[in-house]
Amino acid sequence: MSRTTALFVAAMLGCTSFAALDARADDGVAKGDTSAKKIAFSNSYAGNSFRQVMIKSFEEMGAKAVADKQVAATAVVSSNNSVTEQASQIENLILQGYDAIIVLAGSDTALNGAIKDACNAGITVVAFASGVTEPCAYVVDYNLDSYAKAELDFISSKLGDKPANIFEIRGMAGDGFDKRLHEGVEKAMKAHASYKAVGEVYGQWTATVAQKEVSGILPSLPQVDAVLTQGGDGYGAAQAFKAANRPLPIIIMGNRQDELALWKQEHDASGYETFSLGATPSVSQVAFWVAQQILAGKQVPKFVEVPLLQINQPDLDAWLKTVPAGGVVNAEYPQELVARIIDANAKKEPLPGVPAPK
């Protein structure tokens, strides 16, 4: 090897080493200065316990980040499920000079214009749990195909492949989360040819609405063997079946305190078993830190998947102890954990698990 060739190879190896260092430097928490940045949260709906805890989780994390001088300010606005109002609120946040806007959208398409306006103004937009389709937005979300598959896999583990009637409680008509989760249910049902969908209602992720809607349709339904849910509706569904003096089917629970307490009561009385899973309200914290990390200069994939929180029978008591009356099972997502979730997504590695109760 000539001296010139040797120097060229050495130089290339040096470049490779620096590139490797740069790649490693992007792992973990980005340290760019965001102390002057402002982050807002545009929420479509605040009418159930899940959304209320979600907002509180965001506010608590935001207040701590302000106190720690990681950001300058945070704000939350909610639109009472009016996409027109939410679009107007986003436009106002643009005018108010926010550096990032987190969006939990009431529609997967109706806010695209406002979101595009924000991006064009140089604002980072992070949509979560609502599947907006404007490509300039970053998306933080769950794998909703996995959500539906987990529900039906559990039902199959109890009922086997014998014919069974499946009833579905959906969320809110027109909502992106509901639409995508229902599409996941349709995909998952294809793997269970002996199962038959016998009806659906919109429960709005709220026990009282779910109870009313299920009670209204129950007289027209045949025997129901299992109920698919989206969270917040399991308790109401159970009350509807009890009021109608019908056997309690397998009702997939959604990590609410009233659902877990009812599950424990039924298990202690008769051995009733089910399964609970769902999003955590503090997914809003994941969206917050994703936005902050983008502003800090971290390379973030356009889609960041968040792990679902699942509860099985052996863990029921431990999780139930952590939930206040009327509350939702929750978990904290500090900055460091969110950075690990981002890195796992970027590397296509297994996601860090949701912290379990101690």
Question: Could you tell me the residue range of the domain that residue 190 belongs to?
Answer: 144-278
Note whether 165 and 60 are same-domain residues: no
Closest listed residue to residue 118, CA positions, set 140, 89, 141: 89
With respect to residue 4, please indicate whether it lies within any of the assigned structural domains.
no
101 and 153 belong to one structural domain: no
Quick check: is 90 in a domain?
yes
Contact 351, 305 (CB under 8 A): yes
265 in the same domain as 164: yes
Indicate which CATH number applies to the domain containing 88: 3.40.50.2300
Q: Are residues 110 and 192 in the same domain?
A: no
Residues of the chain with pLDDT below 50 are: 1-25
Q: Is residue 17 part of a domain?
A: no
Q: Give a yes or no: residue 270 inside a domain.
A: yes
* pLDDT given at position 356: 63
| Cβ burial, residue 266 (10 Å; 0-12/13-18/19+) | middle
Residue 174: its pLDDT value, please? Answer: 87
Regarding whether 149 and 260 lie in a shared domain, the answer is yes
Alpha-carbon distance of 337 to 150, in angstroms, equals: 24
Cβ atoms within 10 A of the Cβ of 12, count?
10
State the pLDDT at residue 13: 37
Instruction: Output the pLDDT for position 2.
Output: 42
5 in a structural domain? no
Exposure class string for 117-156: b at 16+ Cβ within 10 A, else e: bbbeeebbbbbbbbbbebebbbbbbbbbebbbbbbbebbb
Same domain? 181 vs 70: no
Question: Has residue 92 been placed in a domain?
Answer: yes
The answer to whether residues 208 and 120 belong to one domain is: no
Instruction: Please check whether residues 156 and 269 belong to one and the same domain.
Output: yes
Split into its structural domains, the chain has a count of 2
Q: What is the pLDDT of residue 48?
A: 79
- pLDDT of 299 reads 96
238 and 291 in a common domain? no
- Number of helices (H), then strands (E), in the chain: 12, 12
pTM for this entry = 0.73
Q: Are residues 238 and 285 in the same domain?
A: no
Whether residues 198 and 109 share a domain: the answer is: no
In a domain, 31, yes or no: no
Looking at the fold, whether 229 and 130 belong to one and the same domain comes out as: no
In a domain, 33, yes or no: no
